[in-house]
Amino acid sequence: MGKRMASLGCALALSGSLLLIPAESSFAASGPKLSFDLTAQGRAIHNAFSDINAWDYEIDWTTKAAGKPANTFATNYPFVKNVQFMTATGGCYVGFPGCSANRDLFADPSDRTTLTDYDFSRLIGALHHVVDQGLKPHIKTGNIPMKLSDDPEVGVMEANLMPPSDYNQYYAYIKALADALVAEFGLAEVKTWTWGVFTEYENPEWFDDGVSSASTQTAFFKIYDYTVAALEDAIGAPNLTVGAHSMTVTEGLWDELAFIDHVAGVGPNGTNYKTGLPGTQIDFLTASFYDLKPGVRMPNGKSFVDTIETLRKRAVANGLGNLKYGIDEGRINSGSDSKALYSRIVAHSFQGSSDAKQFRTMLDWNIDWFSAWGLSTEAIWGGVPAVSTHIANLGYRMVGDKRLDGGFSGAKADPNNEVNGVAGYNASTDTVHLMIYNHNNDMSRTTAETPAVTLRNIAPVAGNTVTVKKWIVDDTHGNFWPTWWNDKANRGIPDSAYSWSKYTMEVPKSLKNTADRDYWYSREADYKALATLTPVTTTVPLVGNQLTLTPELDHHGVVFYEITNARSAGTTIVDELDDWSKAESHTSGLVLDKANASALGDRSRAIRTNNGTTPQSIIYRLDGATRFKLTGLFATDEESVIRNFKFYASSDGSNWTEHDGWGYADSPINEGYWTKRVYTLTKLADNTNYVKVEFPTGGAVAYSPQIGQAQISDVPWNSAPIIDEMNDWTKASAHSSGLVFDTAHGAALGDSSRAMRTSTGSTPEYAIYRSEATDLQLTALYATDNEPGIRNFKFYAAPDGVTWEEQTGWHYADSPINEGAWTKRVYTLGKLPTGTQFVKVEFPTGGTLSYSPQLSQVKLNTASMVNFAKGAAASASNTDTANGYAAEKVNDGAATTDWSGWATDGTALPQWVQLDFGAAKTFSRVELYTTSGYAIKDYQIQYWNGSAWVDCLTAITGNTFDHRTHTFAAVTGSKLRVLGTSGPANQPEYLRVNEIEVYAE
């Protein structure tokens, strides 16, 4: 070969590959991605599946429970802690027309001449079986025994709809029961139990005095007050945990919120009917929540979150701030065949992903429990476990973990799939847990997803690897249902053979014919084997304090990871503003707002008590803090112009310096009436131990803005500049497998080692760098003699190594090499987004030559940048004020290409917009953001040298970029202006500038 490289017969030297992603499976670069930060640890994860229901305790908790090993629940259902007896204390007995169950606790429930012949033995026996399993009873004290009502009436639930004729007599009945339980089990045990008054108290199918909704409401208030008084007198008020269960998901006979007013002692019905004092003890509020069918909401029914938030909002407004909230019954009312489900769940894999999603929602909204009707094909004792039981068991492994902050990005294979999850970390066991799901509300959808799930800031406790144990719940893992569905089809079992829905989990209970049930039992051992969960364990190396897993999530699939030998590579304090415990201090003019939680997507926020001129603030402390993040909520329907928070840093908590090196990202919430703005503070000054957040003053309303969350972190910065000469992979955090090093022809190309592709395929090859970079320079080499058209590299930035955003504001300079046979192109990307921690360089795909282009060098600068434009006085020669444009919007921090800046009104050009710094500044880079689709075509960037305007660089002509970076030799001036001479081709007489940023470097 001569001096010219007409072709490239390269010798390839391949270094050891550092892959970011363990080889579980491949995934699309644009596919779904989840990212969790091990340092950002929030609330402890609670046991969301702690309760199970018993419609009638005699069905499962008498003879069936007798003789069962005491560890049955601890072995099979360790997540279960409480058993709810739904109809524990009366409302029917065999012999009364319409009754098929004995619930009235009397020796002779039909003898109305004797009202004190109590016989609690059946209930006590059932309670012993609960306690013997190490569980706690939840006793619901409804409905009213038949002989305690003058005119008892049986409803469709086989319960007495009528109130007691004498409330004092009913009080005596409940007190006698509580006294008997204390005598039998001891006060120390009974005080650990919970009590509920009625199931769905406003449901007329449970309770309706037949007179009016108002009188029925009053009757329930009386029942609740007398019940609580009886329990307090028997057990002691400090030992009592009591609450009530409403429907709420749909409307009832009367407004369930009136009950909350009553127990809170608020309003005309706030007086206790037993004591005559305001209010009644209340410790929890629960509701029912049902979907009509899988993925189909009840007609006119509330969402899961709104069901609970309806209760919580009223309770908080009434001063009841410390209640617990649960779902005492629910899930799915009917199968897709519109027939009722026995335990209100399906055995289809849909239930697994639905419950995983529900688990996440409960943690998001602090919902304490969701009680289940059944756990296996036999409901409780024996049988084949349901996929929902697997999810509860796996979720129970996370109890006590601190929940990790996370986020989702990317495109799903099916847009209707929901791919998300929950992550937690337990520092005492050095363990990370992840539950990731792929859920679709359509049970028939079959699209799989392969997300990239990344844990950031994770480090091994010892060595350089972590141990990963993985469980899967889907059609082929831990699930008998697909096999049964095939078996029943082969057997020819018709829909008419089912007494319940054919989708119900309790298959043998739903089959009418003995022969079909016998067939099921003949195959039950095989179904149990199919329903067994078997984990797979691997050892995975960590690279750059980051771990990415790529689970294959089948339709309605769930994967659960348990990662051991793991620790956090830093500390992040996450303040959800539920209380003031995470803050060092705050001013007196701030309160916590817990109203309107579902509308704003945040159940507690900090707000001002007034919109006066005194600044309100919160101070956070973390010694050696390096970064800060804050979520602000703005009522932009009330006040369209966002007035930003201010941020200050301090080493001692006394001397403060304003920190203006922040950026933000906006998103609409509450149907666009509010804006969520997430601020990210770039590198905090060395020796920062305190950060102060200051609210803006004034404004239209005191409740805007609000703070939803704050995070302060000491995670070290990746602050060293990176210069990668492409000699090996030590500078990169990761790279794709289709890249190799070319060390031949170094003299001809002026570089002894470069990275190149191994093929011209359609899969993009890339290199990833972990760097808190502010700007990037890349040198690429192109064989333009053999392939004249240059296909450019692409550049991406991410805050987490997962959420990639392509960067387009680059420019380049070309020079010929190898006697003109090759071209060297030096790309410069002048400004990376605030909060960048990862940079990805992507090769172009295709082409005729795998060896072109080549990557010669990557430079990443991490200097802390100061934007001189912030705080400068903005003015303009002409402004279209009629349409809301303003000069001061060009340095308000909104670095976007939307319609939110300065514009002219059509007056003849040239026109200008300028920034006055107030003092001379030395700078060498200007970032210009114009409106998408309406970029300024021809303009000049000029500085004021004290006596004249001077061009910073040659005039720009023919521009079409929304965002353009301008670099030049450093200049010194007290002002800067953009002088526009021509607008875009579609509106050449108009100029638009959305933001100007000015930097020294």
Q: pLDDT, tens digit, for every residue of 51-75?
A: 999 999 999 999 999 999 999 999 9
Residue 760: band (very low, low, confident or very high) from pLDDT cuts 50, 70, 90: very high
**Residues 372 and 391: beta-carbon distance below 8 Å:** no
Tens-digit pLDDT profile for residues 941-997: 999 999 999 999 999 999 988 888 888 889 999 999 999 999 999 999 999 999 998
Which residue has tokens 């026996």?
A: 125
Residues 181 and 177: their CA atoms lie apart, in Å, by 6
What is the average pLDDT across 115-141? 98
CA distances from 132 to 65, 71, 184, 730 (A): 10, 9, 14, 60
pLDDT at 864: 57
Residues 204 and 517: their CA atoms lie apart, in Å, by 37
Contact partners, residue 598, CB within 8 Å, separation at least 6: 303, 305, 306, 309
Which residue has tokens 């912030």?
A: 870
Contact partners, residue 214, CB within 8 Å, separation at least 6: 254
What is the average pLDDT across 879-897? 86
Residue 283: alpha-carbon gap to chain centroid: 27
Kindly report the average pLDDT of the chain as a whole number: 93
Tens-digit pLDDT profile for residues 803-858: 889 998 888 889 899 999 999 999 988 788 888 889 999 999 999 999 999 999 99
Other C-beta atoms closer than 10 Å to the C-beta of 111 total: 11
Radius of gyration of the chain (CA): 34
Residue 870: band (very low, low, confident or very high) from pLDDT cuts 50, 70, 90: confident
pLDDT at 4: 36
**Residues 424 and 398: beta-carbon distance below 8 Å:** yes
**Token pair belonging to 385:** 């476990």
Tens-digit pLDDT profile for residues 435-472: 999 999 999 999 999 999 999 999 999 999 999 999 99
Residues 287 and 370: their CA atoms lie apart, in Å, by 10
Q: Exposed, middle or buried by CB within 10 Å (0-12, 13-18, 19+), for 697?
A: middle
Tens-digit pLDDT profile for residues 762-774: 999 999 998 888 8
What is the average pLDDT across 246-253? 96
Q: Exposed, middle or buried by CB within 10 Å (0-12, 13-18, 19+), for 198?
A: buried
Residues 656 and 620: their CA atoms lie apart, in Å, by 13
Helices (H) and strands (E) in the chain, counts: 15, 53
Cα separation of the two ends of the chain: 43
Q: Residue 111 pLDDT more than 70?
A: yes
Residue 730: band (very low, low, confident or very high) from pLDDT cuts 50, 70, 90: confident
Of 439, 461, 471, nearest in space to 561 by CA? 471
Of 428, 424, 376, nearest in space to 398 by CA? 424
- Complete DSSP assignment for 655-694: S-EE---EEEEEEEEGGGTEEEEEEEE--PPTT--EEEEE
Q: Residue 922 pLDDT more than 90?
A: yes
Q: Are strands 465-473 and 585-586 parallel, antiparallel or unpaired?
A: unpaired
Phi-psi region for residue 540, left (φ > 0), alpha (ψ -120 to 50) or beta?
beta
Q: Residue 23 pLDDT more than 90?
A: no
Contact partners, residue 570, CB within 8 Å, separation at least 6: 39, 457, 713, 714, 715, 716
Residues 639 and 617: their CA atoms lie apart, in Å, by 21
Phi-psi region for residue 819, left (φ > 0), alpha (ψ -120 to 50) or beta?
left
Q: Residue 27 pLDDT more than 70?
A: no
Residues 230 and 169: their CA atoms lie apart, in Å, by 11
Bridge partners of 839, per DSSP, are: 769, 797
Residues 202 and 207: their CA atoms lie apart, in Å, by 7
Of 584, 580, 575, 605, nearest in space to 593 by CA? 605
Axis-axis angle for helices 213-235, 257-264 (nearest 10): 40
Residues 590 and 721: their CA atoms lie apart, in Å, by 42
pLDDT at 155: 93
One-letter identity of residue 153: E
Bridge partners of 272, per DSSP, are: none
pLDDT at 925: 85
pLDDT at 9: 36
**Token pair belonging to 695:** 């609210």
pLDDT at 30: 63
- The more confident residue out of 666 and 496 is 496
Contacts within 8 Å (CB) and 24+ apart, 592-599: 593/703, 593/706, 594/312, 594/313, 594/316, 594/321, 595/313, 595/316, 595/317, 596/313, 597/309, 597/312, 597/313, 597/365, 598/303, 598/305, 598/306, 598/309, 599/669, 599/670, 599/674
Q: Residue 617 pLDDT more than 70?
A: yes
Contact partners, residue 231, CB within 8 Å, separation at least 6: 174, 175, 178, 195, 240, 242
Residue 800: band (very low, low, confident or very high) from pLDDT cuts 50, 70, 90: confident
Residues 648 and 657: their CA atoms lie apart, in Å, by 5
Secondary structure of 933-1000 as H, E, C letters:
CECCCEEEEEEECCCCEEECCCCECCCCCCEEEEEEEEEEEEEEEEEEEECCCCCCCCCEECEEEEEC
pLDDT at 900: 78
pLDDT at 915: 97
What is the average pLDDT across 161-179? 98
Q: What is the largest CA-CA distance in the chain?
A: 118
**Residues 81 and 50: beta-carbon distance below 8 Å:** yes
910 preceded by cis ω (within 30°)? yes
Which residue has tokens 């300065």?
A: 902
Of 850, 852, 812, nearest in space to 830 by CA? 812
What is the average pLDDT across 659-672? 87
pLDDT at 811: 84
pLDDT at 629: 95
Tens-digit pLDDT profile for residues 192-201: 999 999 999 9
Of all residues in the chain, the percent with pLDDT exceeding 70 is: 96
What is the average pLDDT across 76-89? 96
Tens-digit pLDDT profile for residues 12-21: 332 222 333 3
Of 172, 170, 306, nearest in space to 251 by CA? 306
What is the average pLDDT across 418-439? 98
The predicted model scores a pTM of 0.80
Bridge partners of 680, per DSSP, are: 629, 663
pLDDT at 663: 80
Bridge partners of 692, per DSSP, are: 619, 648
Q: Residue 641 pLDDT more than 50?
A: yes
Axis-axis angle for helices 481-491, 514-530 (nearest 10): 150
- Strand segments, DSSP code E, in 416-475 are 418-426, 431-439, 452-456, 458-460, 465-473
pLDDT at 863: 66
